[in-house]
A and B are shown apart, each in its own frame.
Chain A
Amino acid sequence: MGRYRKPVQYIILAVVLLIGGYAIGNSLFSKSVVLTKGDKPPGFRLADLNNVVHDMEDYEGKPLIINFWGTFCPPCRNEMPALQHQYDKWKGQGLELIGINLSEDKLTAESFIRQIGVDFPILLDKDKKTERKYGLKQYPTTFFIAPTGEIQEVVIGGVLTEEEIDKRIERLIQTKS
């Protein structure tokens, strides 16, 4: 045993450091689900109104806006036309815009979208799964994601005016991946 004393000592201390470090580190960086500037948005796979699957990965490297909305939320309803206008204005320059419906019935979402005349993809969340992944607290919540794949801004609640959206899209487009 005597010969192995030192190695054994070092191994035990190393194991302690490893396990202890992991356990303490885990408690220090307790995960908060709230996403902020600079975070990478979590992935998702959701069907749109035509039952076509959209994967978060499909939008990699493009300036992207994700808007979480529901027909039950008046500000969400009110900012929908502005989003559509801005989408029309910027889609030629590569802007992608996704509206994720907050786990409503497809019919309910669809009829509202038809009324407004939205033509960007509307994805249907199920059982609030995606919403929970994104740590949503208020509706609507809009994520502006730069081509680098990082969140540039999160706008929570309130009605976004066209100018406000426009300003942010410009900033998104300018950020090169």
Chain B
Amino acid sequence: MFQNTKCECGHQNPVGTVLCESCGKPLDEALLKDENALLEMRYDGVARRSQKANPHFVDRIWNFFSSVKIAVYLIVITLIGAAFGTILQQESTIINLTERSEFAAYYKEQHGTFGVIYHALGLSRTYESWWFIGLLVMIGTSLVVCSLDRVLPLYRALSKQQIRKHLQFINRQHVVYSGELTQDKQEWLDRFAKELKRKRYRVWREDGALLAEKNRFSRWGPYINHIGLIVFLLAVLGRSIPAWHMDQYLTLYEGETRQIPGTNYYLKNDKFTLDYYSDEELASNQKGTKVVKLYETKARLYECTDACDDPTREPVLTEVKQHDIRVNSALAYKGLKVYQNSFQEKVRFISVHATLKDKVNGTDIGSFDLKMNQPEEEYKLGEYTLRLIDYYPDFGLDEQTRPMTKSRDPNNPAFVFRIAGPGIQDRGEVYVYFPMPSEKSKYYETILNESFKQRGDNSGRFSIQVDNPIVDGQMNNIEYSAFTTYLNIRMDRAMPYVWVGAAISMIGLIMGFYWQHRRIWIRIDGDKLALGGHTNKNTYGLRADVAGALGKTRIEVDPKTLDNRRNER
């Protein structure tokens, strides 16, 4: 397609120019047909940067992203895609499952055939899927390319505007006035310019022509908004960098300290509290029901300062933060946030204060603290020494009726001690001790100690027990955890950038929405005065400006009559 892009004023315009860059005469064929139609003033009629007569392969890609139509399609497709992700629960919100097969089973069980299809299509991971990320990347590209292609030519056009415009350009604006000028031309122009300056217009003049302009910066609003959106989008994509984003769960029983996986931090649960509203505090229709008042984990955060990677030593921890984690009150430390997520009511022994008794004399030899996790291997009680020789946290018997532990949790701990001291055979005496005050545990304890006695491993002289294990229905001399707390640990290093992006975007929106770019052109040919005005929004305001300034210079007009569209309506 051949297109003559040279204007009658002698200016050579790029392909795709709608209005001559110099004098403003319409060049576009559609605009030339009807001389009374309003001008298309988008981007001041300049060509988009990438519009070319013979696009190259890379130009074609560039042009694809440069199209606003494509951008709208991309946004609509992304919206529809994002909506699919809201139909069923997303995989990332399901704790405990990690494998594809586990998720597949979960969706099948929860949602039947639909769940199977949903999972098979990958919609259970919509927001991490390649196509969704791909759409976001494409929207980002479109934002950059669209903006660049339009803002640069627009900037150029607005920074070197011709003052004297083509008559057609002036007469085909939204706001127009034309008439005879009976007064002195120069004097009238001076006064008109002064009036506009009072309304904070910037005025340029060139013999018999005038250009007044106000709030040009408002035109940059959308582009600043786009910069903000790009920062926002990059920040969102940045969350896929492993070190930038973390979302995991940690379970802690009371008194337990565990490392937060993938970090140098350790977290301790001092106490978990579950509190209900009392009947007085509840509304009449809720009385007698259990309504939770408080979920709270008293937590301590530690940082490892030494022996962090040394498997032969316990890590050296330094407390860095203490916080009572409640719903909506997370522990926060250097970008790390720990939220209360859930809890489980489960009794777990932490340690017992046990006493070694001499049954023959009926005396107490001494007492000691026995931990269920990594117990000490030796205890000195007066003249006697207790050596822990075996430990089964969850006592049971295997197929060959050998003692074993059924799990790693101290559900029914059993300790085997070898006692040495005065009046005991050289190889010591062996006793088993079950701290759980349950019948079954005590039964095992009796049976086993009896069999040791028969083998000659002990004389039955000693016993280990907790004094007064239950006082007023409460466990005594026993330290235990009543609850296990589930904490959600999050880190989002991208968040500050998300906020910055959002702030920039907001600044751009405000610039574009609350100010308008207004321009007024005047051209006097002999006695004929031609005035045209353009604004990107709020033509009422511009018409009022023009009518006001004309009125002050003794040309009385009704603002409404300045509307160029009056003929059409």
Residues of A within 8 A of B391 (CB): 105, 107-108, 111
B551 lies within 8 A of chain A by Cβ:
no
A137 lies within 8 A of chain B by Cβ:
yes
B558 lies within 8 A of chain A by Cβ:
no
Question: Given known contacts A32-B100, A102-B408, is B129 in contact with A16 (CB within 8 Å)?
Answer: no
Query: When the two chains form their complex, are residues A104 and B137 in contact, meaning their CB atoms are under 8 A apart?
Result: no
Question: Given known contacts A23-B240, A27-B240, A30-B128, is B99 in contact with A137 (CB within 8 Å)?
Answer: yes
C-alpha spacing A108/B98, complex, angstroms? 29
Query: When the two chains form their complex, are residues A127 and B258 in contact, meaning their CB atoms are under 8 A apart?
Result: yes
Partner of B404, one of A10, A51, A52, A72: A72
Residues of A within 8 A of B393 (CB): 104-105, 108
Question: Given known contacts A107-B391, A108-B405, is B258 in contact with A16 (CB within 8 Å)?
Answer: no
Query: When the two chains form their complex, are residues A24 and B234 in contact, meaning their CB atoms are under 8 A apart?
Result: no
Residue numbers of B with Cβ under 8 A of A are: 49-50, 58-59, 61-62, 98-100, 125, 128-130, 132-134, 136-138, 140-141, 144-145, 148, 152, 234, 237, 240, 258-259, 261, 309-312, 373-375, 377, 388-394, 398-399, 402, 404-408
Residue numbers of A with Cβ under 8 A of B are: 1, 5, 8-10, 12-13, 16, 19-20, 22-24, 26-28, 30, 32-34, 45-47, 51-53, 70-72, 74, 77-78, 102-108, 111-112, 115, 124, 126-127, 129, 132, 135, 137
Query: When the two chains form their complex, are residues A108 and B392 in contact, meaning their CB atoms are under 8 A apart?
Result: yes
Residues of A within 8 A of B152 (CB): 1
3 closest Cβ pairs, A-B complex? A20-B137, A47-B311, A111-B390
Question: Given known contacts A24-B130, A32-B99, is B240 in contact with A12 (CB within 8 Å)?
Answer: no
Query: When the two chains form their complex, are residues B134 and A20 in contact, meaning their CB atoms are under 8 A apart?
Result: yes
16 more A-B residue pairs beyond the given contacts A20-B134, A22-B240, with a C-beta to C-beta distance below 8 A: A5-B49, A9-B50, A10-B58, A20-B140, A24-B133, A34-B99, A53-B310, A71-B404, A72-B406, A72-B408, A77-B404, A78-B399, A102-B408, A104-B408, A107-B390, A135-B98
C-alpha spacing A16/B310, complex, angstroms? 43
C-alpha spacing A8/B136, complex, angstroms? 22
C-alpha spacing A126/B134, complex, angstroms? 40
Partner of A33, one of B98, B148, B408: B98
A98 nearest CB across to chain B (Å)? 14
Residues of B within 8 A of A132 (CB): 261
Query: When the two chains form their complex, are residues B309 and A45 in contact, meaning their CB atoms are under 8 A apart?
Result: yes
> What's the dominant secondary structure at chain B's contact region?
mixed
Residues of B within 8 A of A20 (CB): 134, 137-138, 140-141
C-alpha spacing A24/B261, complex, angstroms? 26
Query: When the two chains form their complex, are residues B99 and A46 in contact, meaning their CB atoms are under 8 A apart?
Result: no
Partner of B144, one of A16, A45, A72, A124: A16
Query: When the two chains form their complex, are residues B128 and A127 in contact, meaning their CB atoms are under 8 A apart?
Result: no
Query: When the two chains form their complex, are residues A27 and B128 in contact, meaning their CB atoms are under 8 A apart?
Result: yes
C-alpha spacing A9/B237, complex, angstroms? 22
C-alpha spacing A137/B100, complex, angstroms? 13
Partner of B407, one of A52, A72, A137: A72
Query: When the two chains form their complex, are residues A107 and B375 in contact, meaning their CB atoms are under 8 A apart?
Result: yes
Chain B residue nearest to A132 in the complex (CB)? B261
A134 nearest CB across to chain B (Å)? 13
* Pairs across A and B, CB under 8 Å, 17 listed: A9-B59, A10-B58, A20-B140, A20-B141, A23-B133, A27-B133, A45-B311, A52-B312, A70-B408, A72-B405, A72-B407, A77-B404, A105-B373, A108-B390, A108-B391, A108-B393, A111-B390
